[in-house]
């Protein structure tokens, strides 16, 4: 007798994303994740986790360099997305299915009532659901905000030529807040909607099964079966449209690439583009010289023993006049008016007041001063050089004097 052979019928699959779409998504995923990690450790630089990651990364300068590279990749992906969108719109004449409309509001309400048990059925949605549209436009909005505020912080000198200086700390606050919002949205919203509620593999395989299409995009499935989905134009029409679109896309792409180049190479940071103040410059010089005493002062009978500061090569008269410029050059990016952890090192009074966790400078005792302890560990965002750290230590041990 002949054996019966059983063949398993593979479920029909529908192409949802092209290879170019999937590569674009992967680059966005990698750049966004890198930006999130390297950005949040700078925003919360005093936390133990951030300090661990910074040391693991090889220091804050490596963190900043990685953050800048990831930001550049994100901008290049955005340019590619815009050119690709123009191709789909002008050459292929695809529907602009990602635009939100009133139907999305109705779908959101139907989904809400269904989820809480008051609706009879789930909403019937097309190419993109209202959740996918909301995520997409949140990404567009976030990219614009992060790009503008990132430019202000990356190019502070160019920014203050157009806007008041207060825009830079405002940009820093907006940049950090939007970063936290974006990371939370991905972890809570995107992870649940794509990976937990129903594991969607379309961005990896490019396809969805008929069952998945029926569950998530029934209206699009109906259009496909009815032959009403996007149709590829004939060869002659494609050739004519490409002849028009390609030169426009090339010129627009070159302009945007030059804009990215200017964004990246305009400046580095305020710390490297503005030379630090010279601590040896006299802050106050009286116009009228001090008159000499009527009689010369008698010489001391014996030479006094050198002080600890003098023996170490550090001036014994260290005051805020010498230490303040060090903090201004290295620390005010984070510990200025918009102070991280409430610590403002812009003025003597604020520095001595400390931050939210209390005093960071203990006059006469650098060993217990939190500022000196953190700087001595190395790898801080505004890391002082060995010479600057020695000056700050000598100033604290001498009593942390203002004048």
pLDDT tens digits along 326-363? 888 888 777 876 665 678 888 888 888 888 778 888 88
State whether residue 209 is helix, strand or coil: strand
Torsion of CA 88, 92, 95, 100, to 10 degrees: 10
Q: Which of 146, 162, 166 is nearest to 154 (CA)?
A: 146
**Residue 103's pLDDT band (boundaries 50, 70, 90)?**
very high
Q: In this predicted structure, what is the pLDDT of residue 294?
A: 58
Kind and range of the H or E run holding 15: strand 13-15
Q: In this predicted structure, what is the pLDDT of residue 86?
A: 94
Mean pLDDT of 112-135: 89
What's the rounded Cα separation, in Å, for the pair 177 and 172? 9
- What proportion of the chain, given as a percentage, has pLDDT over 90? 35
Q: In this predicted structure, what is the pLDDT of residue 303?
A: 47
Residues 6 or more apart whose CB falls under 8 angstroms from that of 319 comprise: 395, 401, 402, 403
pLDDT tens digit string along 43-55?
A: 998 889 999 999 9
**Residue 287's pLDDT band (boundaries 50, 70, 90)?**
low
Contacts 24+ apart (CB under 8 A), 220-224: 220/126, 220/127, 221/14, 223/126, 224/14
Q: What is the DSSP string of 136-171?
A: HHHHHHHHHHHHHHHHHHH-HHHHHTTS-TTHHHHH
CB atoms within 10 A of CB 287: 4
CB 36 within 8 A of CB 178: no
Does this model's pTM top 0.75? My answer is: no
Give the tokens for residue 300.
């001391």
What's the rounded Cα separation, in Å, for the pair 173 and 334? 11
Q: What is the DSSP letter of 189?
A: I
What's the rounded Cα separation, in Å, for the pair 122 and 115? 8
Q: In this predicted structure, what is the pLDDT of residue 314?
A: 47
What's the rounded Cα separation, in Å, for the pair 73 and 26? 12
Q: In this predicted structure, what is the pLDDT of residue 77?
A: 95
CB 168 within 8 A of CB 267: no
What's the rounded Cα separation, in Å, for the pair 319 and 403? 5
Beta bridge partners of 208: 14
CB 324 within 8 A of CB 397: no
What's the rounded Cα separation, in Å, for the pair 84 and 382? 41
CB 211 within 8 A of CB 29: no
User: How many residues are present in the chain?
Assistant: 403
Residues 6 or more apart whose CB falls under 8 angstroms from that of 336 comprise: 169, 344, 345, 346
Q: In this predicted structure, what is the pLDDT of residue 341?
A: 61
CB 61 within 8 A of CB 380: no
Candidate from 36-50, 65-79, 263-277, 345-359 with smallest mean pLDDT: 263-277
Beta bridge partners of 14: 208
Q: Which of 321, 291, 333, 335 is nearest to 395 (CA)?
A: 321
Which domains are seen in the chain, by residue range?
Answer: 13-269 (1.20.950.20), 308-397 (no CATH)
Candidate from 35-44, 136-145, 163-172, 192-201 with smallest mean pLDDT: 192-201
Q: What are phi and psi of 194, to 5 degrees?
A: -105, -40
pLDDT tens digit string along 228-257?
A: 877 788 899 999 999 999 999 999 999 999
State whether residue 128 is helix, strand or coil: coil
Residues 6 or more apart whose CB falls under 8 angstroms from that of 138 comprise: 182, 185
Q: Which of 108, 129, 119 is nearest to 198 (CA)?
A: 129
Mean pLDDT of 306-316: 46
Residue 296 CA: distances (Å) to CA of 299, 302, 357: 9, 17, 52
**Residue 309's pLDDT band (boundaries 50, 70, 90)?**
very low
Q: In this predicted structure, what is the pLDDT of residue 265?
A: 83
Q: In this predicted structure, what is the pLDDT of residue 357?
A: 77
What's the rounded Cα separation, in Å, for the pair 297 and 133? 85
**Residue 176's pLDDT band (boundaries 50, 70, 90)?**
very high
CB atoms within 10 A of CB 344: 21
pLDDT tens digit string along 146-159?
A: 999 999 888 888 88
Q: In this predicted structure, what is the pLDDT of residue 147?
A: 92
Residue 39 CA: distances (Å) to CA of 67, 313, 327: 7, 40, 23
Residues 6 or more apart whose CB falls under 8 angstroms from that of 100 comprise: 130, 133, 134, 137
């Amino acid at each position: 007798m002949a054996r019966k052979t059983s063949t398993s019928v593979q479920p029909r699959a529908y192409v949802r994303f092209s290879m170019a779409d999937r590569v674009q998504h992967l680059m966005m995923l990698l750049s966004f994740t890198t930006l999130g990690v390297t950005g949040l450790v700078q925003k919360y630089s005093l936390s133990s986790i951030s300090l661990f990651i910074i040391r693991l990364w090889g220091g804050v300068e490596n963190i900043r360099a990685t953050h800048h590279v990831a930001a550049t990749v994100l901008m290049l992906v955005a340019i590619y997305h815009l050119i690709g969108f123009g191709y789909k719109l002008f050459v292929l004449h695809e529907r602009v299915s990602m635009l939100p409309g009133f139907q999305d509001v109705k779908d959101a309400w139907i989904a809400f009532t269904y989820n809480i048990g008051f609706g009879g059925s789930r909403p019937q949605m097309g190419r993109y659901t209202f959740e996918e549209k909301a995520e997409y436009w949140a990404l567009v909005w976030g990219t614009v905000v992060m790009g503008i505020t990132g430019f202000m912080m990356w190019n502070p000198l160019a920014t203050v030529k157009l806007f008041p200086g207060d825009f830079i700390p405002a940009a820093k606050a907006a940049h950090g807040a939007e970063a936290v919002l974006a990371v939370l949205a991905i972890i809570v919203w995107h992870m649940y909607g794509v990976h937990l509620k129903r594991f969607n593999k379309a961005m990896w395989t490019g396809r969805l099964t008929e069952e998945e299409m029926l569950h998530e995009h029934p209206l699009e499935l109906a259009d496909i079966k009815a032959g009403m989905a996007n149709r590829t134009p004939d060869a002659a029409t494609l050739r004519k449209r490409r002849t028009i679109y390609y030169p426009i896309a090339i010129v627009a792409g070159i302009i945007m690439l030059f804009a990215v180049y200017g964004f990246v190479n305009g400046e580095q940071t305020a710390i490297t583009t503005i030379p630090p103040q010279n601590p040896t410059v006299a802050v106050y010089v009286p116009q009228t010289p001090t008159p000499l005493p009527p009689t010369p002062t008698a010489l001391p009978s014996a030479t006094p023993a050198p002080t600890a500061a003098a023996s170490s090569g550090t001036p014994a008269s260290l005051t805020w006049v010498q230490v303040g410029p060090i903090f201004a050059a290295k620390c005010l990016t984070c510990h200025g008016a918009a102070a991280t952890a409430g610590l403002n090192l812009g003025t003597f009074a604020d520095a001595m007041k400390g931050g939210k966790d209390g005093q960071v400078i203990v006059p006469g005792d650098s060993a217990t001063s939190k500022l000196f302890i953190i700087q001595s560990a190395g790898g801080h965002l505004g890391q002082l050089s060995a010479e600057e750290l020695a000056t700050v230590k000598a100033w604290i041990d001498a009593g942390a004097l203002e004048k």
